[in-house]
Structure 1
């Protein structure tokens, strides 16, 4: 197979836009030669451009393409024509096509979402369903540069933190977005050079949705009257904010380890003295992580809720505040405890021990929490998650059957790469974990060897290295998967993608 150097020397000629997208894909390690890519295609210019560009690159890098089209049932005959257009396009190019149909209005009512949210959620469920069925490696979607700008402005106008200013990531789990480096005009010009036509969704031409108002009115005004490069500058800012956000994540992770203990019922106990020493920015991130552990999601948790908890440290013991998802934060002698309002306190002494295997989702007795386990083999270009809820382990180093349980006599953990071990009891004492909390902490264990002290650290013995061939992914989930995020689809969240497809 020809390399990137080959085409630069003129071994073969590539359209300049295809070359631009290819370089962007290489920069962000989106796909390897020979991988199978599931492509979301609506029939519009962006998605048709994505399919056409990937089809060209497939000739050079041997990508195996599969198309997924979702008919939302909102536009009657026009939507059916979109579906026929996509299916014919794929047939002409001998590309497998899977079409899904949904009554989106009914689906949105059932799930308690807006139609916009429900459409996105349903689409990603369908993408993932097909990816798993065809043993695909990646899911490619057609977001482009203006989508980044619209997302950032939309988040700014409704209120957001740093993460809301990071825009749309080029890669997230198996999802790739090769067109983020190009504009809508560039895509349309490319299709015209190729002599291709595309479908137009009339709803995108109206101002019925907030994003359309930003797309049709705000961005064009800014680029015409303030700075024609405004869109490019917004995208560059998003990249900088993404770097800052990743740095804050690492700092918050270390701070969480330092001052938060997590019980088996996902009760977060924040130790006041160490928490007060943190910079206020890191304090807020630690509190958001704590809420996320207890609730399993962070949607609808805003700055006001975080500040309510911070102010508890200045209140008397026993004062509390109530948060979304039936959560409460209580001022204690040691600091602050965040837990479910409805928790049965008698459950805290309940012993847990259950054998588990991957893949699988395991409910924790007496709680609303679940732990999901699954194995990844294609992970070399992915970054190990830096968060409290998901951990990676070298699957082939596991010697016994796995269990999720509370502590037992003889449990130990490996502390470093030299193999130094410490009894779990001694580790808990050294970490100053209160005696009453030690029996509540959940463990993922390989016999007496503890892989993960949930809410705390993992064993060095099971860390992923360059030699790792298979990764065990362990993920804590809350009471109800957040259907508005793609992560819940990977995690096997709510169903809602009926087998109504062709292809």
Structure 2
């Protein structure tokens, strides 16, 4: 096995890039890096039992030269008997329409094409041809224009379905491999000019650093990027845990940060919480910089009602509880439409909106009787209820008991772990005893309230109404039931 092929094989296995039998979409421009990626993966295809498909994107910027790139890639794919999907776009027009630079628009369009083909052919991975020098260029580019830790972490080997098998190799290694194999490649003349900032880093700054500062400058940049990635990953985990404790997502993707808990965290974690809150409210972090993060931190010391404006048509407003980040046109009244109704046994209660009726009853003569396996009826140990019952939507601090050992989980964390869509979380109905959730309707009940041999009185809760006979609510319950099947203990 060739040295580069063996090196890439080990790198792919270390980073768990593929599994046997998977399909991979390979982005191929025709340049040296992408041709190297295609042929290295072709050699490894038999070893990993992979199926390859190529995607080529003609950006329409270089006329006949770009058409020649497309023809070359298609010809190579025919010879290698690899399916090839070619796309053509007027990138200048597309960039103008989307309000992006040509470089940004080109990347966006390429990945759209990769994903389109991946879905069409049911592939599991998309392989792109970034290599070691690309990491150095990305780190320096982000450093010069201003960035945080994540921007200095380079390019990850795996992100979602995207894999980058050549990050372990340098440009010279790739070209040497192609020459050894007698494989040609196309040269994009624009890469030889200094029209783009990345080209200036590639042609001037990195060579200068290697010649006059340290010959291993590129390697050291990549190693440092790896260390910073580990730190960024750690802060991500800490920021997520802190966000779960002090932030609450409401209607219209607004986020409330509760100041009492927020202020207990170190300033580094506070910034992570704010960054995550903006990302949730806006759906992205584009154009958000350190200044915006610090503006929101400063709001914690301001009077109620003070606000600041953020990118993405967001605003942050000081409230009695802390800070709410929301869309400029979202009123405080419509941000979260909570529902709460006190219920008791015995009794019947109509839930407005869903067209449901909740019926509660008590039983003492249940010995030796099997708990019915019924998607609309649940049994609970009535004597474990301490604060009275409500049917409501979620509130800050809600939790559920997961097992007989009493392990608890915040309801917000549970919803995230179960991948409940964000837009559904605020409308899900709960049966609650204070902040302790007995039943996430349609999903699961709390172990703390399950019926056991020691139970004296059973609370029977039944959902009735036309929608529980085959409409929207039945669909919700069916999804929950498939994850949490009924059992003897409820």
Give TM-score, length-normalised by structure 1.
0.71
Q: 1:393 aligned to 418, 439, 451, which one?
A: 418
Cα 1:219/1:389, change in 2 over 3 Å:
farther
Q: Are residues 1:321 and 2:346 paired?
A: no
1:294 paired to 2:281: yes
CA distance in 2, matches of 1:234, 1:68: 31
Tell me the distance in 1 between the aligned counterparts of 2:206 and 2:46: 36
Q: What is the aligned partner in structure 1 of residue 187 from structure 2?
A: 200
**Equivalent residue number for residue 254 of structure 1:** 241
Determine if contact 2:142/2:151 at 8 Å carries over to the other structure: yes
2:57 alignment partner, one of 70, 81, 94:
70
3-state SS of 1:152 partner: helix
Rg larger in 1 or in 2?
Answer: 2
Equivalent-residue separation in structure 2 for 1:34 and 1:48 (angstroms)? 22
Q: Per the alignment, do residues 131 and 187 of structure 1 end up closer, same or farther by CA in structure 2, a change over 3 Å counting?
A: same
- Residue 406 (structure 1) aligned with residue 433 (structure 2): no
CA contact (8 A) 2:251 2:336 kept: no
- 1:169-318 correspondence to structure 2 within 5 Å: 169-318=156-305
Return the alpha-carbon distance in structure 2 between the equivalents of residues 139 and 348 of structure 1.
38
The 1-side partners of 2:474 and 2:307 are apart by: 35
CA contact (8 A) 1:354 1:405 kept: no
| TM-score using structure 2 length | 0.73
405 and 281 in structure 1: CA distance in 2 versus 1, 3 angstrom threshold: closer
- 1:375 alignment partner in structure 2: none
Structure 1: segments with no counterpart, 5+ residues? 1-13, 356-386, 396-401, 424-443, 452-460, 463-503
Give the conservation status (yes or no) of the 8 Å contact 2:91–2:102: yes
User: What is the distance in 1 between the residues matched to 2:311 and 2:264?
Assistant: 27
8 Å Cα contact 2:77/2:83 also seen in 1: yes
CA distance in 1, matches of 2:106, 2:274: 31
What is the count of residue pairs matched by the alignment?
383
Pair 1:28-2:15 in alignment: yes
Aligned-partner Cα distance in 2 for 1:174–1:389: 25
2:103 maps to 1:116: yes
Give 1:285-434 correspondences, 5 Å limit: 285-348=272-335, 350=337, 391=416, 393=418, 406-408=427-429, 410=431, 412=437, 420=447
Cα-to-partner distance string for 1:392-439 (whole Å, 9 max, x where unaligned): 5389xxxxxx96652536264689x9962579xxxxxxxxxxxxxxxx
Q: Does 1:93 align with 2:96?
A: no
Per-residue deviation, residues 179-203 of structure 1 (Å, max 9, x unmatched): 0000001000110001111100000
Unaligned runs of 5+ in 2: 340-352, 356-411, 451-472, 485-490
Q: Secondary structure at the match of 2:252?
A: coil
Displacement of 1:251: 0.7
